């Protein structure tokens, strides 16, 4: 499992990638809707990943992250002094008890580019929050799902992922703020079509 958090002037986002033993990738991204520090975002990302792994009934997990503070606090090499992080760390340890075997390894940011990109994308999904007075709800239908979608390609990443992939194909649903992403080696028409059919169109059927 790889995790990362991103904080910028627009907002905060977290990204996780679970990789199965047969090298299947399961990317997850979410926007953090409250003010937080970089370290809080890193903990949020790692906790999101652990929760997802528990949902997948994973019992043995290797965790990689580019946050020295999060990794070394988890290993017990650094003390958790920040009061805001104490509760994160306690909940983190509680989740870790669900695994028969779990390890934590610090990895340089250059080897964590895929998850870093997911977290940054999630932080940039903007939702305008306006305190509007109550009003009657009216049904609204979108003419076609793609009118609410944004699709982009990130890359090439250097170095490549362990499976040889160096591009990230990302689709963002601007209505639900949901993000779907997949890594690709070459970005071909067939690969994009397969991604759209499997991960996007299938959701509207």
CATH of the domain at 35: 3.30.420.10
Out of 126, 154, 186, a domain closes at 126
Residue 134's pLDDT is what? Answer: 47
Residue 166's pLDDT is what? Answer: 76
Residues 202 and 155 placed together within one structural domain of the fold: yes
The distance in angstroms from the start CA to the end CA of the chain is 31
Residue 137's pLDDT is what? Answer: 40
Residue 65's pLDDT is what? Answer: 86
- Cα 171 to Cα 28, 74, 167: the distances in Å are 12, 33, 13
Is 156 part of any domain? Answer: yes
Sequence-distant (6+) residues with CB within 8 A of 17 are 1, 2, 3, 25, 26, 27, 28, 114, 115, 118
Contact 39, 72 (CB under 8 A): no
- Cα 162 to Cα 16, 77, 106, 148, 180: the distances in Å are 16, 29, 17, 33, 21
Is 16 part of any domain? Answer: yes
Residue 51's pLDDT is what? Answer: 94
- Provide the residue-wise pLDDT of the chain in tens; the chain has 205 residues: 888 887 776 677 888 888 888 878 788 878 888 888 888 888 899 999 999 999 999 999 999 888 888 888 888 777 777 777 888 888 988 999 999 999 998 887 655 565 555 555 555 544 444 444 444 444 444 444 444 566 667 667 766 666 777 777 777 665 555 667 777 777 777 877 787 777 766 665 5
Residue 184's pLDDT is what? Answer: 78
Burial (CB < 10 A; 0-12, 13-18, 19+), residue 172, is buried
Residue 54's pLDDT is what? Answer: 94
Residue 163's pLDDT is what? Answer: 73
Residue 200's pLDDT is what? Answer: 67
Is 92 part of any domain? Answer: yes
For 160, the domain range is 142-205
Residue 158 to residue 166: CA distance in whole angstroms: 7
Out of 126, 154, 169, a domain closes at 126
């Amino acid at each position: 499992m790889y995790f990362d958090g991103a904080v910028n002037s627009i907002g905060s986002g977290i990204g996780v990638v679970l990789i199965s033993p047969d090298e299947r990738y399961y990317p997850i991204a979410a926007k953090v809707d409250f003010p937080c520090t970089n370290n809080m975002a890193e903990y949020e990302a790692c906790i999101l990943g652990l929760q997802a792994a528990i949902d997948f009934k994973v019992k043995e997990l290797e965790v990689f992250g580019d946050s020295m503070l999060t990794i070394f606090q988890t290993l017990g090499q650094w003390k958790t002094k920040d009061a805001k992080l104490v509760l994160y760390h306690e909940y983190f340890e509680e989740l870790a008890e669900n695994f028969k075997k779990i390890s934590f390894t610090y990895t340089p940011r250059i080897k964590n580019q895929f998850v870093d990109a997911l977290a940054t994308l999630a932080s940039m999904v903007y939702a305008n929050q306006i305190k509007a007075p109550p009003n009657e709800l009216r049904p609204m239908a979108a003419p076609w799902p793609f009118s609410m979608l944004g699709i982009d390609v990130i890359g090439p990443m250097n170095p490549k992922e362990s499976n040889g992939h160096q591009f990230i194909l990302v689709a963002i649903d601007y209505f639900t703020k949901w993000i779907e992403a997949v890594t690709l080696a070459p970005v071909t028409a067939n690969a994009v079509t397969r991604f759209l059919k499997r991960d996007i169109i299938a959701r509207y059927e």
